[in-house]
A and B are shown apart, each in its own frame.
Chain A
Amino acid sequence: MSAQPLLQIRNLSKAFGGLMAIQELDFHVNKDEIVSLIGPNGAGKTTFFNLVTGMIPPDAGQIVVDGHDIVGLRPNQILERGVARTFQNVRLFPNMTVLENVLIGQHTRTGTGPVGAILRTPAFRRQEEQAVEKAKETLAFFGSRLVGYRFDQPANVLSYANRRRLEIARAMASEPKLLLLDEPTAGMNPRETAELTELVAKLRDEQGFTICLIEHDMRVVGRVSDRVVVLDYGTKIAEGSYHEVANDERVVEAYLGTKAGKAAS
């Protein structure tokens, strides 16, 4: 590891009341890496994403993206610095069209204000055309599922799997350096899961995103991850390749009690 990691977390802590959701976590993601974050329910994985994207402030610690501490920035500023995410329970803009959802992703990468919009200046038109063009390109990444007549459909008519895809497209459109995927395969059937697994790999190989994902499905984790980090009660209990982690005693211990619970969730 010669270069500086893309995401460097130092000593990060966050408590909700008396509950320590994240405890003195050290963590990093290198450029062009796919890192999986796993752990039993309540381990603090989503909280970690919320901290990195600035949705909640940490109690202590540093979050360094590309050499800059981003703690204290607003979520939109963090997105501008190149961190985009998806949500565990898909949060699209349901009454906006598919295309508009993706265009929102490009919000920080475009810049005309109200005056340009009212006067329909050439610069505004050009930018608008480019943005739409780029949004369509982004959607084309998912094959034929989100193109054509789909562009102008409101997001809430999409199937569940397509919503997940659209959410990824929205995040991609913001041209992030780091893509945080929160359980991208949750609620999908085996075929869709397999397809999405491939897609995650393609996101890195073809599109050049660095990826950190939370995942419960161990087959997905095993297939895509360069590195796996295991959280339990807000602390890192193991880290390494999938095989190293899968055979780690503490990990097995952390999971054993919760396996049944997980299956039901």
Chain B
Amino acid sequence: MAARFHRPDPRRTVVLGIAGGLTAVFLSAIGMVEEFIKRSLVDPEVVLGYVTIALVPFVFAYVVARPPPVREGIAPVRPGPLTLAAGAVAGLLTASVVSLFVVITTEVNVRGVLQNVSPPLLETLTFHRGVGQGVVWLLVGGTLIGAGGAAVHLIPARYRRPVVLAVVWVLIFGLLQVLIAQIFRGLKVGDTVNPFLYKGSRGLTIHGAITVWIAAFLIALSLEGQREAMRRRLAEATPAVRRNYMLVGLAVALLILAVTPQILGNFLSEVLDLAGIFLLMALGLNIVVGYAGLLDLGYVAFFAVGAYTGAVLTSPSSPEWNPAFTFWAAIPFIMVAAALAGIIVGTPVLRMRGDYLAIVTLGFGEIARILFLSDALKPYFGGAQGIIRVPNISIGPVEFVTSQDFFYIIYALAIVLIYVSWALQHSRVGRAWMAMREDETVAEVMGVNIVAAKLQAFIIGAILASLGGALFAHKIGSIFPHSFNIVVSITVLMCVIVGGMGSIPGVILGAIVLVGAPELLREFSEFKFLLYGALLIFMMQMKPEGLIPSRQRAQELHQDEAAQDAWLRREALGDTEPEPAK
């Protein structure tokens, strides 16, 4: 049977087209476009601001034109002329909404309310050509970009991913110029490669961009289909072989870690240090949320306990009591303090259901911050003035001063904690946690002591976070209560959720990307939390198991199984009590 052409739903096209327009207007009105316009990705024309606003009709048109998934028993449809038309219409609608916005805000001054809708923004949106000509440009451009977004579906399936991926890589090379140029410099090839790729600090050169695109395209094309094969090979390998793979991987990772600070230099090491501290916390939260399934929103409290205990014990100028220990001597005390904090937070919430637990832990996090800030405890923790002069860490005569030095301490500890997480996950304790996460009632009936398991999770999670906190105090050299607000808790939670709850590689990826990237991309820092929030919503709808799920196979089969489960439950249910909804 010949495949029919895809006919996109007209109503959906209109709705999404207008939604795209509103999105674009929103991005302009919060100042994102104007902030991003200064950043050049490919010299001279491709600037981040325009890329951002062009992405909107592109993505919406892509979604509008996406043909339905191929299903058994239903004749497949393939993209055709109408696909392109729908994309173009959606793009045109998006551009129309933006044009309308431009026209209105030119006539009416709304700057008193929407502070970012300024004349420069309007000039940017009209390409500095005045309203009349600018609107024409907008409409034509929107239509073309929309058609372009739809055209992605016309690319033969084999090339679609490589083509798009290669474009993404060009953008990444442009965005992360600082990082990539520094890597080449660190590898001693910077003098030859960088002038070819980059034009000063103004992004990629045109030939650089083309080179990156071609290279990325070829690599992606050759890797297409390989991933599945590699995964299968790994899954079929005997434990001994798998162990060897792991050892080799570990050795390579260690080697890379050892040279990283030298290659990256001080500034980038600083970024990685920060990401590393969040990684330590994320590993701890992964135990609490990922393994044990306890959504802790006040995790920053343990971080604060670690930082304050460390600071009080080591700083020669801590207010009430200053034994001026070394970092190493303070560690046991920090761990004990964290364990106590874990018990204090953990005990009251033992019998609470999941969402109550989240709010109550959030409350504990705020309580910790308010207490550290308060005048009542000022004699001990310094109130708003915090604690200063936290000394550097030293091993024997070697003092760790620069961020490059700290990198080694942080990531050495990270490796230890990664091992600890792994060891716990593959043990009786870890199994009890996971059982509890999956079905608390049944876990208890099968012999798991819920009280003990939850407290263990809280205590161990608290200790991990407190170590991160202590390192943070030594790294910054002084601590203030405002460093420990809810935003830290949410950021750590983001790392765990986006990476993949319960998955150690996921958590590592989450911490490095979510904490490291915004530091590198200063333009983003203003919008960091907006993007975090949007990412959370997006992930929960599209990929709640995270980027690197902990059990690939389980997730792949999840949906059919869930349907089957539901059917069976109806089939098998006969007796008195309704089962508690989970």
Contact = CB atoms under 8 A, between A and B. Distances in A.
User: Do A and B share a direct contact in the complex (Cβ within 8 angstroms)?
Assistant: yes
Interface of A: 21, 41-47, 50, 53-55, 74-76, 79-80, 84-85, 87-96, 100, 103-105, 107-108, 110-114, 116-118, 120, 124, 127-128, 131, 153-154, 156-157, 160, 170-171, 174, 183, 186-187, 214, 216, 262, 265
Contacts of B565: 94, 156
Given A100-B434, A107-B432, A183 B572 contact: yes
Contact of B444 (A44, A75, A94, A95): A75
Contact of A120 (B423, B564, B572): B423
Given A114-B460, A117-B424, A183 B553 contact: no
Interchain residue pairs A-B with the least CB separation, the first 5: A117-B427, A108-B447, A154-B554, A79-B447, A93-B438
19 contacts: A42-B576, A54-B445, A76-B445, A76-B447, A76-B450, A89-B569, A89-B572, A92-B442, A95-B551, A104-B431, A108-B447, A110-B428, A113-B456, A117-B430, A156-B561, A160-B568, A187-B568, A187-B571, A265-B573
B446 A170 contact: yes
A94 B438 contact: yes
Contacts of A41: 574-576
B434 A93 contact: yes
B448 A100 contact: no
A128 B573 CA distance: 37
Interface bin, chain B: 35 or more
B447 A216 contact: no
A128 B425 CA distance: 13
A124 B438 contact: no
B572 A186 contact: yes
B577 interface: yes
Nearest to B441: A55
B557 interface: yes
Contacts of A88: 572-575
Contacts of B432: 104, 107
Contacts of A91: 439, 441-442
B445 A55 contact: yes
A208 B441 CA distance: 27
Contact of A47 (B441, B442, B551, B577): B577
Interface in B537-572: 551, 553-554, 557-558, 561, 564-565, 568-569, 571-572
B446 A105 contact: yes
Nearest to B450: A76
Nearest to B545: A95
A54 B442 CA distance: 11
B435 interface: yes
A206 B571 CA distance: 32
Given A76-B450, A88-B574, A104 B557 contact: no
A95 B554 contact: yes
Contacts of A153: 553
